[in-house]
Amino acid sequence: MNPSALTTEEIRETGLKAIQKALGPIGAIKFIQLFYTGKGDYSSERHRLLKKASISNIKKWLKSC
């Protein structure tokens, strides 16, 4: 396999397969989590999204599902 001839997606896919083969599914997930730090400000986003949340609104939403 010539890595320079692969697309970014092919490299990502091949790497993920190698990690999963070496570590198993759970180990692969734990490994990937070491490098993914997320983005944004979770706290302010949560406060903005839940600002109007109430038990009655949640119950209404659940009934509509």
Which tens digit of pLDDT belongs to each residue from 16-50?
Answer: 999 999 999 999 999 998 987 778 888 998 888 88
> How many CA within 13 A on the CB side of residue 60?
5
Residue 13 pLDDT class (50, 70, 90 cuts)? very high
* Cα(58)–Cα(8) distance, integer angstroms: 42
pLDDT at position 7 over 90:
yes
Q: Of all helices (H) and strands (E), which one includes residue 36?
A: none
Residue 53 pLDDT class (50, 70, 90 cuts)? confident
> How many CA within 13 A on the CB side of residue 7?
3
* Cα(44)–Cα(49) distance, integer angstroms: 9
Report the pLDDT value the prediction gives residue 31, as an integer from 0 to 100.
93
